[in-house]
Every structure is written in structure tokens, then in C-alpha cells.
Amino acid sequence: MMRRDRASAALGMIVERDEPGEAVVSMRVREDMTNGFEITHGGMVFAVADTAFAIACNESDDVTVAAGADIAFLKPTRAGQTLTAHARRRALSGRAGLYDVTVTDETGDVVAEFRGRSVTTRRAQPVD
């Protein structure tokens, strides 16, 4: 999946861990990822969390997508900092899944908490 993910690649995301039900993704915040207050745009924080979530929940040959997600922003970050998103499966029942993602900065401080809900489709992963 990540080989075809042009959005995550364009944002400079790096997959640090990819295991069934768990993933870690990091991203260095660039100047063009900040908002008018010179802090990291919330969409960028959401994006790194969403990518970790996507990796964690795509553990079979069937495509799994987000059914919904919520995020709580807890601490601002700035250009030059590195965000790390750690996604973990909390529950899986049939085709529905629940995942928590903690986003931290390079000091280990929690920047955001994300909760994603997944649904596994009956579609196979695209063939490269």
C-alpha cells in the first residue's frame, strides 16, 4: 500500500514499524506544513496519524479503509520538529476495527491523540 501512497511520500513520511495491528510513522515538519500562526497545521498532524492508522489496519489482502476518525490536538509543534505516530489496534470484530494513534514530538511529548474506525472491504489490494 505505501509503495503507491503518493500523498504520504510527498509529505516525507517514513514507516518505522509495520506489523499486524501496529504501525509507527514519522514525519519532519517543514515550513510549508505550518499555518498562519507558524505552528504545524492540524491537517499535517492528522495526516501522519491517519497514515499510521492505515498501515496498522491493512494487515490482510483485502482493502481496509477509514470509516471515521477523530483527533484531539494537545500540543503545538513547529517547523524542524519530528512527529511520530504510533498506531495500535484496540478491537477487531468482523469487518470493523478500532485503532488508537498517539502522536508525539521528538522529545516524547504527546502532540495529539487520534482514534480511527476501519472497515474491511471485499476488494483485493491493487496489483503493482
| Residue 2: pLDDT band with limits 50, 70, 90 | confident
Q: Give mean pLDDT, residues 25-35.
A: 98
Residue range 68-73: average pLDDT? 98
Give the pLDDT confidence of 41-69 residue by residue, as tens digits: 999 999 999 999 999 999 888 899 999 99
Question: What is the predicted pLDDT for the residue at 124?
Answer: 67
pTM of the model: 0.94
Domains with residue ranges and CATH for the chain: 2-124 (3.10.129.10)
pLDDT, residue 128, reads: 63
Please, which contacts does 8-15 make with residues 24 or more away whose CB atoms are closer than 8 Å? Answer: 8/47, 8/51, 11/44, 11/47, 11/48, 13/47, 13/48, 13/51, 15/55
